[in-house]
Structure 1
Amino acid sequence: MIYSSDLFTISLLKPKDALQLNKLLVSNTDRFIRFLPKTLEENTTLESTRNYIQRKTKSAEKRNEFVFIIHDKHSIDIIGMIILKNLDWKAKQGEFAYCIGKRFKGKGLMSKAIKATSNYVIKNLGLETLQILSHKTNLPSINTAIRSGFKWQGTLKDEFKPLNEAPLDMELFEYSIAT
């Protein structure tokens, strides 16, 4: 476990998380499909989620990508996930992607989880700059970035291509220990 509060815990993804992770992703497909299409595609069934966890565990061992799971402290539910990706170890930089289930949105939990995960990543992995990319219409994600201490850096043209849509401009937010 990398973090614990009265409401939730955060830990690295583990094989025992398969059922609850699959439940989170499948039950929130409509919310997550636009910005997490690859993750959803890799988790359509319980078996595919087990395979996803195996791949992501190996990826973490190789320090290529890390998946953190947010567990509700009062149930067995996984309420969200944070993916640390696009790691550049020379630049000491990485990017967060995240999602939270519809039952838990709007409560400030993801902002607290991003802050906690940022602290862990900086202290334990040695990263110095963390990024969040969000579309301008995804106000909950933008608010999470800002409340987590990330600062807007600019707009990246045609940065992300959702399924069956034209490429989207994305807003870049960064948190750096240098500033």
Structure 2
Amino acid sequence: MTYSSDTFYIEHLQYDDALHLNKLLVSNTERLKRFLPKTLAANRTLESTKSYIISKIEAMQSNTEFVFTIKDKYTRNIAGLVILKNLDWDKKQGEFAYCIGEKFEGKGWMSEAVKATSKYAIHTLGLTHLQIIAHKKNYSSVKVAEKSGFSWRKTLKSVFTPINESPIDMELYELRNEG
């Protein structure tokens, strides 16, 4: 998948992205640690980021998960990630997770990126049900879901446990393409 706007572009995660991905995640650890603990844990060092990328490339090749980078068009640095995970090919369903670096937040890039990757998931991969699961107080994530055309469906009770916290409720947003 490739997508380009005036200010950023999207492409599949590549091995050459290791340094920029590691810098993005390490420099944004505090703001991402509550909702992306597994991704952060897998990218603490440059070497672990290289291993993470290899595993994600293998996952893309086996159609079990897709990781897309959002890159600043002028610096070519990674501004964020869109991850299509929890794929169920029988149900034609997948879930999005995403993050963006603090200096790129509030520019509308993530909403545009989720819209573009949703089109890819529907038209290229053949998925019909896309989901975003966000905490109601993660206002930025909720805003991205809504601006990307996803609709709130229901509250999922105690489905996510942040590190050193009790289980918390999350909100389910869906985008359906029935044909």
TM-score by length of 1: 0.98
Tell me which amino acid in the other structure corresponds to 1:125. L
Q: Superposition RMSD on alpha carbons, in Å?
A: 0.9
1:52 corresponds to which residue?
A: 52
1:87 corresponds to which residue?
A: 87
- 1:10 corresponds to 2:42: no
1:132-170 Cα shifts (integer Å, max 9, x gaps): 000010001000000000000000001111100001100
- 1:125 corresponds to 2:107: no
CA distance in 1, matches of 2:2, 2:176: 20
Aligned pairs, how many? 179
Residue ranges of structure 2 left out of the alignment (5+ in a row): none
- How many Å apart are 1:44 and its aligned residue? 0.3
CA distance in 1, matches of 2:57, 2:76: 21
Runs of 4+ with >2 A deviation: none
CA distance in 1, matches of 2:150, 2:2: 20
Identity of aligned residues (%): 58
- Does the 8 A contact of 1:2 with 1:120 survive in 2? no
- How many Å apart are 1:121 and its aligned residue? 1.1
Tell me which amino acid in the other structure corresponds to 2:160. F
1:79-121 Cα shifts (integer Å, max 9, x gaps): 0001110000000000000000000111111000000110011
CA distance in 2, matches of 1:172, 1:41: 25
- Does the 8 A contact of 1:100 with 1:110 survive in 2? yes
- 1:62 corresponds to 2:75: no
- How many Å apart are 1:178 and its aligned residue? 2.2
Structure 1 stretch displaced more, 117-126 or 148-157: 117-126
2:154 corresponds to which residue?
A: 154
